[in-house]
Amino acid sequence: MNKGQILVVDDEAAQRDILRTILTAEGYGVETARTAAEALEKGGHQQFDLILTDLKMPGADGLTLVRDLSRAEPPALVIIMTGHGSQDTAEQAMKQGAFDYLIKPLERGDLLRIVSRAFDRIRLIEENRLLRRQLEERYRVEGIVGSHYRIQEVFDKLHRVSNSNSTVLITGESGTGKELIARAIHRHSLRKDRPFVAVSCAAIPENLIESELFGHEKGAFTGAVDRHQGLFEAADKSTLLLDEIGELSVNMQAKVLRTLQEREVRRVGGRESIKIDVRIIAATNKNLEEEVVRGSFREDLFYRLNVVIIALPPLRERSTDIPQLAEYFIARACAEAGRPPMPVTTEAMRLLLTYHWPGNVRQLEAVLQRAVLLSDGHKVDYTDLPIEVRFSTLPPREPQASPGAAGDYRFLLPAEGIQLEEVERSFILQAMELSGWVIAKAAKLLGLSYRTLQYRLEKFQIRREHIEETGASKADAVEAEGGPRTS
């Protein structure tokens, strides 16, 4: 039985032959190559588990080969063969990702031991990969991306509550995916064939919300020309998402609580109660416990909702999911634009990974959608990212920090450098825009005195009409399209 595929790379024919003989006798499949280039070419056609390569060869050396191969997906395991006296290079190769090295002349016993150890490692990696895939399969929820343990916990809870009728409270900052989870719960429940109903308690004016939720009878109030079915009734035998429930007035909270307790609604101006069977999911980006303490959220309603709580972590606390989310959003944006998916450069990925994402997944999605449009069509590079992602890597510790606390920011200098004046100019422009061209306000945002800012406005010749005249820079244009912004 073939124990695995090995590629032997050496410019000496005798060396290749001897290795082929020994390894084939042990049950490994062996291919050979004379140069690094030939090795890469063979690797492109056929998958090798292990590569045994000489370090010094004509043309590209073994070191470059090690680097290229250990970057491949899946990465190949590489064992270096090197002459006496070149241990240094061998150590260097290990740093580049080589698995181990052998000193020439090769000793059969050593060779087989190291090869066998390499295959133990390969099996382990494969097992891990399989386990991870099984885990991801088990916890996968269609259209929701994430492998971080906190998202896996969310998926786990989602699967456990979906089939019950239990009320669910979803909390999390803006853009963390609360509505996405609510819809997924509905989709995985027995109610899935009925339409999901969502209402944003923040979007409806106070005087309309009661009739929106509970409906009204004809003539219940001026303008009530017809009988109107409320959203609770519309969601009968289905799921109702009360989004941004923290925005509900205390008065409406009492009415919602009664509905949850009695499982019936009464239309505005109506006398009869109508039985309903609705599964309630509530979502909020507020801390309801704090709202209870403050007296703006009813404690009894809070306990009624707080049966199962799904807390979505902010994106910055699960940044290991960013590469996966980025790939997903880019693929989607590319598909919409009718293009093949494109990779993210290392530099751009580093920025995506270090940015603090105040707008969470929604902001990441928006940033990448734009990046795809701005890109050269082959890759998403750091120049395609908006300025706040490029230059700010840490949020101020306090969102409303006092002026001068800007020292809490850390700016990442890209390896190829920046034009400091351009950056300064861009920040000043943004501050002026943000503060409606009031110099005193902009100065506060920048931690500058009025006079210093005035001086710089002159130095950079920044005037209001300037923007309209010249058009904003590329990064500014992205900003202006209204991406979520740090306040």
Ligand X SMILES: Nc1ncnc2c1ncn2[C@@H]1O[C@H](COP(=O)(O)OP(=O)(O)OP(=O)(O)O)[C@@H](O)[C@H]1O
User: What are the residues binding Mg ion (CB under 5 A)?
Assistant: 179
Count of residues touching ligand X (by CB under 6 A): 15
| Residue 365: contacted member of ligand X, Mg ion, none (CB under 5 to 8 Å, by partner type) | ligand X
Residues 252 and 386: their CA atoms lie apart, in Å, by 41
**50 membership: H or E segment, kind and range:** strand 50-54
Bond before 105 cis per omega within 30 degrees: yes
Beta-ladder partners of 31: 7
Of 110, 42, 120, 36, which is closest to residue 77 (Cα–Cα)? 120
Residues 249 and 261: their CA atoms lie apart, in Å, by 18
- Binding pattern for the stretch 269-308 against ligand X, x by CB under 6 A and - elsewhere: ----------------x-----------------------
Q: Binding of ligand X at residue 365 (CB under 6 A)? A: yes
Read out DSSP for 101-112? EEESSP-HHHHH
By CB under 6 A, name the one of 22, 145, 308, 331 that touches ligand X: 145
Residue with Cβ nearer ligand X (367 or 445): 367
Q: Binding of ligand X at residue 358 (CB under 6 A)? A: no
Of 396, 397, 384, which is closest to residue 446 (Cα–Cα)? 396
170, two tokens: 């979803």
**Which residues lie closer than 8 Å to 342 by C-beta, 6 or more apart?**
330, 334, 372, 375, 377, 378, 379, 380
Residue with Cβ nearer ligand X (76 or 380): 380
**Which residues lie closer than 8 Å to 381 by C-beta, 6 or more apart?**
345, 347, 348, 375
Q: Which long-range contacts (CB under 8 A, 24 or more apart) does 187-195 make?
A: 187/142, 188/141, 188/158, 188/159, 188/162, 188/163, 189/162, 189/163, 189/239, 189/279, 190/163, 191/237, 191/238, 191/239, 191/279, 194/235, 194/237, 194/238, 194/239, 195/238
Residue with Cβ nearer ligand X (183 or 216): 183
Q: Binding of ligand X at residue 146 (CB under 6 A)? A: yes
Residue with Cβ nearer ligand X (365 or 381): 365
Residue with Cβ nearer ligand X (273 or 324): 324
Q: Binding of ligand X at residue 153 (CB under 6 A)? A: no
Where does this chain touch ligand X (CB under 6 A) — which range of 117-125, 168-176, 246-254, 405-413?
Answer: 168-176
In whole angstroms, the minimum distance from the beta carbon of 174 to ligand X comes to 4
By CB under 6 A, name the one of 5, 166, 174, 435 that touches ligand X: 174
Residue nearest to ligand X (CB): 177
In whole angstroms, the minimum distance from the beta carbon of 178 to ligand X comes to 3
In whole angstroms, the minimum distance from the beta carbon of 264 to Mg ion comes to 28
In whole angstroms, the minimum distance from the beta carbon of 323 to ligand X comes to 13
Q: Binding of ligand X at residue 327 (CB under 6 A)? A: no
In whole angstroms, the minimum distance from the beta carbon of 181 to Mg ion comes to 10
Where does this chain touch ligand X (CB under 6 A) — which range of 7-15, 82-90, 178-186, 475-483?
Answer: 178-186
Bond before 74 cis per omega within 30 degrees: yes
Residue with Cβ nearer ligand X (180 or 462): 180
Binding site for ligand X (CB under 6 A): 144-146, 172, 174-180, 285, 361-362, 365
